[in-house]
Chain A
Amino acid sequence: MPEPMGFYTDTTVCIGCKACEVACKEWNQLPATNGGRSKLSGDSYDNTRRLDGIHWRHVKFIEQFDAERRQGRWLMMSDVCKHCVRAGCLEVCPTGAIIRTEFDTVVIQSDVCNGCRDCIGACPFGVIDINPVSGTAQKCTLCYDRMRAGMTPACAQACPTASINFGPIRELKQKAQARVEQLHGRGERGAYLYGADEKMLGGLNSFYLLVDKPEVYGLPPDPKMPTRNLKRGSLWSALGAVVVGVVGLISLRSRRDVNV
């Protein structure tokens, strides 16, 4: 059994070249947006804007400037499916299309998915969407086909700055921790790891080194499992059914006005 594999993305060395996006699209043969006629976002140099069924990698540009645009900084982050150890999408999928692989990654089997879209709303990171060509939900597979052949995922292979690191999770965590300590030593006290800890959905097999709050990067500060509401929601429904049932029985049994 192979050990859990994943990504560690060091956002401090990302230069926003989007080579990972291109490599992902090319390897996975993902279609162009709008038949190749891309619309410019108009308010950012980033025109991909979000992850979806045909964008399995997305380099976010976080442009932090003051009103006069005299001072500011760019934060770049190559976003992707987090391959959660406790995955909400996998939990709710009613067809069994979403599976956990031998590498501890989460993959949607496109030949099984029927496009019900339950996983889209269940994902705490907004990663999944429908691929309009296949009509099924799709997202990053962590290049399952390449991994099975002993290859590095296309995005990590293409990354020119080693922002995207691929490997066994155990080794990636050690590397990431060393990098955080290095950054702290250089005075970047805001550096921390997002998702490396098991407290977050059992750990994210794609975790990040960030230097600002998760919300700044469009990441949820406290992602949760969708099934957290199952028991309580069912109990309230059952209570509602009991109340409606009792009121109904009383209303139907007690007739003051039978002979009208």
Chain B
Amino acid sequence: MSSTFFTEPPHWRWLIILYFFIGGLAGGCYFLASMIDLVGRPTDRPLARLGYLIAFPAVVVCGILLIADLGRPERFWHMLLQSATWRPMLKTYSPMSFGAWGLLVFSAFAFLSFLGALGEDERRHRFSFLRPPSVIGTIVSALGGLAGFFLASYTGVLLAVTNRPIWSDTTLLGAVFLVSSASTSIALLMLLGSRRVFLVGGLRALARFDTFVLVLELITLVALVVSLGSLARVWLSAWGALLLLGVVGIGIIVPLILEVRAHSPLSASARAAAVLVLVGGFLLRVVIVLSSEAI
């Protein structure tokens, strides 16, 4: 038996699952927005704007969820400052410590880009320099995009750097969460943009991107199960059924079929596919977190 089965669960439940899901959307929507802004067509700018407008409120929600989950919420700042000396508290080898700083840095970029996205509005034009193609906007978007990739994946590494069954028996959770963040964020942008006919070009590009990412997600999930080896038998249970039917079936296979059949990214089937991808992404985090917590 693996030594990980002799440990105790850290009681990370629904608040943390929600954080993993919404944090993935925040990071994912930002890096998608920055990619659209930096390499996309000028006609796609409203899609990027949508991404920035989602990312900052989402990361604020993440902060609230994380603080609420602490045993002593009023001490949340101990993650960033040493309580006795007020010096910075950073352990580069602790994903939670590094992640707390990563979240803070990402929040700063998300806030600047949020202002930049608001600057598209005539009345708040003075903030438009915070978005590409301005030099400052380009730097903010590029660095914020990297921070978004970090936010989308470090939570998987955080789980791997424990001694818990499943989580620490593989090193692929970071990659799985990152790919899932990409697919759910694309789905959210497609869903929110699907009523705007003038975005159809960008939405088509996103739909194509989503197809690739969903296939990639399927590959990473298979690799995850293979990497667990004989320990994957713990998923010969209701959790495994949820993984197979909910995450793979409803969250990947059915959306892929719907996307291939959809004649337009504005169609009802494309919207249904996006909703199912979001449901699958949420269920993925439910299965990963709770199947280990239950042991």
Chain A residues close to B by CB (< 8 Å): 50, 52, 88, 91-97, 111-118, 120-130, 134-137, 215, 218-224, 226-227, 229-230, 232-234, 236-237, 239-241, 243-245, 247-249, 251-253, 255, 257-260
Decide: A237 and B156 in contact? CB cutoff 8 A.
yes
Query: How many whole Å from A243's CB to the nearest CB in chain B?
Result: 7
Decide: B71 and A135 in contact? CB cutoff 8 A.
yes
Decide: A96 and B71 in contact? CB cutoff 8 A.
no
Residues of A within 8 A of B14 (CB): none
Decide: A247 and B209 in contact? CB cutoff 8 A.
yes
Decide: A247 and B39 in contact? CB cutoff 8 A.
no
One of B125-133, B212-220, B239-247 at the interface:
B212-220
Residue of A nearest to B152 (CB): A241
Decide: A240 and B71 in contact? CB cutoff 8 A.
no
Residues of B within 8 A of A118 (CB): 10, 94, 96, 158, 162
Residues of B within 8 A of A111 (CB): 83
Residues of A within 8 A of B44 (CB): 252
One of B50-58, B73-81, B104-112 at the interface:
B73-81
Which of B10, B69, B174 contacts A240, CB < 8 Å? B174
Which of B8, B39, B83 contacts A128, CB < 8 Å? B8
B interface: dominant SS: helix
Q: Which of A93, A221, A241: most chain B Cβ within 10 A?
A: A241
Decide: A220 and B174 in contact? CB cutoff 8 A.
no
Decide: A226 and B168 in contact? CB cutoff 8 A.
yes
- The 9 A-B pairs of least Cβ separation, nearest first, read A115-B71, A237-B174, A220-B3, A240-B175, A114-B75, A251-B209, A121-B162, A135-B71, A94-B97
Q: Number of contact residues on B: which range applies? A: 35 or more
Decide: B79 and A129 in contact? CB cutoff 8 A.
no
In angstroms, Cα B5 to Cα A218, docked, is 9
Q: Which of B36, B175, B182: most chain A Cβ within 10 A?
A: B175
Residue of B nearest to A114 (CB): B75
In angstroms, Cα B173 to Cα A95, docked, is 24
B267 within 8 A of A: no
Query: How many whole Å from B3's CB to the nearest CB in chain A?
Result: 3
Residue of A nearest to B169 (CB): A229
Decide: A260 and B76 in contact? CB cutoff 8 A.
no
Q: What would 27 A/B residue contacts be, using CB atoms closer than 8 Å?
A: A91-B93, A95-B89, A96-B89, A96-B91, A111-B83, A113-B75, A115-B71, A118-B10, A118-B96, A134-B71, A134-B72, A137-B71, A215-B1, A218-B6, A220-B4, A221-B3, A230-B161, A232-B171, A233-B173, A240-B174, A240-B178, A245-B35, A248-B209, A249-B35, A255-B204, A257-B201, A258-B41
Decide: B9 and A121 in contact? CB cutoff 8 A.
yes
In angstroms, Cα B213 to Cα A243, docked, is 9
Residues of B within 8 A of A226 (CB): 161-163, 168
Residues of A within 8 A of B284 (CB): none
B59 within 8 A of A: no
B184 within 8 A of A: no
B274 within 8 A of A: no
In angstroms, Cα B94 to Cα A116, docked, is 13
Decide: A122 and B163 in contact? CB cutoff 8 A.
yes
Residues of B within 8 A of A247 (CB): 209, 212-213, 216
In angstroms, Cα B71 to Cα A130, docked, is 8
In angstroms, Cα B162 to Cα A128, docked, is 13
Decide: B161 and A92 in contact? CB cutoff 8 A.
yes
Query: How many whole Å from A185's CB to the nearest CB in chain B?
Result: 31
Known: A122-B162, A227-B93, A252-B40. Is A244-B182 also a contact (CB below 8 A)?
yes
Besides A230-B95, A237-B174, 6 other A-B contacts (C-beta < 8 A): A114-B72, A226-B168, A236-B171, A247-B216, A257-B201, A260-B200
In angstroms, Cα B219 to Cα A239, docked, is 14
Residue of A nearest to B96 (CB): A94
Decide: A229 and B70 in contact? CB cutoff 8 A.
no
Decide: A124 and B71 in contact? CB cutoff 8 A.
no
In angstroms, Cα B82 to Cα A111, docked, is 12
Query: How many whole Å from A138's CB to the nearest CB in chain B?
Result: 10
Residue of A nearest to B16 (CB): A117
Q: Which of B4, B161, B172: most chain A Cβ within 10 A?
A: B161
B179 within 8 A of A: yes
Decide: B175 and A239 in contact? CB cutoff 8 A.
yes
Decide: A251 and B212 in contact? CB cutoff 8 A.
yes
Query: How many whole Å from B145's CB to the nearest CB in chain A?
Result: 9
Residue of B nearest to A120 (CB): B10
B160 within 8 A of A: yes
Decide: B179 and A240 in contact? CB cutoff 8 A.
yes
In angstroms, Cα B156 to Cα A237, docked, is 8
Which of A134, A236, A248 contacts B172, CB < 8 Å? A236
Q: Which of A113, A221, A252: most chain B Cβ within 10 A?
A: A252
Residues of B within 8 A of A136 (CB): 71-72
Known: A122-B162, A229-B171, A247-B209. Is A241-B178 also a contact (CB below 8 A)?
yes
Residues of B within 8 A of A95 (CB): 75, 78-79, 83, 89
Known: A115-B70, A233-B161. Is A125-B97 also a contact (CB below 8 A)?
no
